[in-house]
Amino acid sequence: MKVLIVGGVAGGATAAARLRRLDEEAEIIVFERSGYVSYANCGLPYYIGGSIQDPDALTLQTPGSFLTRFRITMKVHHEVTAIHPERHTVSVKNLENGETFEESYDKLLLSPGARPTQPRLPGVGLEKVFTLRTVEDTFRIKSYIQEARPRSVVLAGGGFISLELAENLRALGLEVTIVQRPRQLMNPFDPDLAAFLHGEVRRNGVQLALGHTVEGFEEKDGGVDVLLAGEAPLHADMVVLAIGVTPDTGLAKEAGLTLGLKDSIVVNERMETSAPDIYAVGDAVQVKHAVTGQDAHIPLAGPANKQGRVAADNICGGDSRYLGSQGSSILKIFSLTAAATGINETAAKKAGLDVDKVILSPMSHAGYYPGGKVMTMKVVFEKGSYRLLGAQIVGYDGVDKRIDVLATAIHAGMKATELKDLDLAYAPPFSSAKDPVNMAGFMIDNLARKVVGQFGIDEIDRLPRDGSVTLLDARTPMEYSHGHVEGFRNIPVDVLREHLDEIQPGKPVYVMCQSGIRSYIAARILEGHGFTCYNFTGGFRYYDAVTHERRLIESAFDCGMDR
């Protein structure tokens, strides 16, 4: 059997190695148009910033090591220019000498990945406007920084690459501005959780221009002007386009393969395309979202590697299935860690789901053990069925552990109420006896059992201030004096029973505290005395962070720029 693979990164490299482990006799040839195979795309920003200093550390394997260990021929600087499904061949161009030839196959695997989205804007091809996809792109940016000594950079886009670059370029001393059309960074997060990301990048000196559309680039005064719709240009010494990725599927389109979202390649669960004996994996393919069941394009390294394994199994006569992508992801943003899995509240509502959520602020480990830090968790579930849909966590220590537990729970089809039953490891340096994931389950179970009602941040301003409801803040007077929501009266939870006669019976009571725990206790006290209560999910800490960021964005947008 002769297998050709187009693309030697992530899915392609994984598939090649798996093929060899399953079939010692197969002839396996990989064509990669860049000069590197099996490299760590996710590590590229950290090489630019200097966290990774050895460029060889970026490549997990080399053409030589693949040949030695796996007897796989890796042909770098070779570009496949056409696929001929009817005769089971591909056309190839050697980029080093210009030679062209045809190569036959029994099975063909496409793993071309995705390319940085480059809108058709004036000035996209300027020398000082960069993209970051390959090792060569990384070296180009690193060399420019070392030689030209730029002092400022504009990053167009607010996703993973942009934020990782922002951190690493700030470490090099550059002034960094992120321009993003949506009014938030990182679309996997809802706007309320994204507020915590905004706060972290601002604290580290990154300027945000959110809600602004880039219309082009012009060389000016030795640098680049970034042209914005309806706004004065931003000037910088260099620009990096990081506005997302586009499936690199020109070959597949010309070969007549069926395409889907964003022109991604349509495959089935076996990673088979619409053409016989042609498989596709990685950032170029359309998948099913594991939570919604809808078609999706989710360009992440984890799914690409899994898909490569599935395709290799099936090429060798197996029957492996790819069950869909859940979108689990994690990101380091300066001192902060942000992670998400499944779908967020915004996406769930767009998908037509009737959803609810809980928001909590647990410690990363037992409060009495030194060094614990607060994280903010948002767990999204379907009303009625309590199907677990997604989660987002922003914090410091222990974020990765909790998001992986929640990702596993979603994959296993657990109900959100069942999170309370998980038996998770505990010792004071690592967790609490009630792990944050358990705490989320307890909160959702309370909602399911109608032990307590809740209200959210978007309801606060709509609550009447005419005396028809009681608005109660259960924190200490000191906390209250440092900031509170207008209209909320302060009665600390520990003296609430002594002040019950001050709360008018028959009126619903809306309670908040710093994190949601004391207000829950206050609500239970009041319920026990005949009141109907609603607890604010998230607490004042969450409310203050989100509303502060909303004001900043609105103010900056109204004034023209966040400077």
| Catalytic positions | 42
Tell me the CA distances in angstroms from 466 to 154, 462, 471, 489, one per residue in order.
48, 12, 11, 13
Beta partners for residue 29, in sequence order = 4, 73
Helix axis angle for 11-22 and 63-70, nearest 10°, is: 20
Residue 275, amino acid: A
DSSP for 474-530 reads -S-HHHHHT---TT-EE--GGGGGGGGGGS-TTS-EEEE-SSSHHHHHHHHHHHHTT
CB neighbourhood size of 169 (10 A): 24
- Of 364, 519, 339, the C-alpha closest to 426 is 364
Q: State how far Cα 13 lies from the chain centre.
A: 24
Strand 245-247 vs strand 114-116: parallel, antiparallel, or unpaired? antiparallel
- Of 359, 398, 366, 363, the C-alpha closest to 540 is 359
Residue 292, amino acid: T
Q: In sequence order, which residues have a C-beta less than 8 Å from that of residue 307 and are 6 or more positions away?
A: 11, 271, 281, 282, 285, 287, 322
Q: In sequence order, which residues have a C-beta less than 8 Å from that of residue 489 and are 6 or more positions away?
A: 470, 471, 472, 473
Residue 338 near residue 399 (C-beta atoms within 8 A): yes
| Token pair of 16 as six digits | 């090649």
Tell me the CA distances in angstroms from 32 to 1, 8, 247, 288, 338, one per residue in order.
21, 5, 16, 27, 33
CB neighbourhood size of 364 (10 A): 23
| Token pair of 517 as six digits | 């725990």
Q: Which residue has the tokens 């609810």?
A: 356
| Token pair of 136 as six digits | 């060569």
Residue 454 near residue 542 (C-beta atoms within 8 A): no
Q: Longest Cα pair distance anywhere in the chain, in angstroms?
A: 90
Q: Sheet containing 2-6: which strands, arranged edge to edge?
A: 73-76, 27-32, 2-6, 107-110, 278-280
Query: What DSSP designation does 263 have?
Result: G
CA distance 285 to 283: 6
Decide: helix, strand or coil at residue 326.
Answer: coil
Handedness of CA 505, 507, 508, 513 (dihedral sign): negative
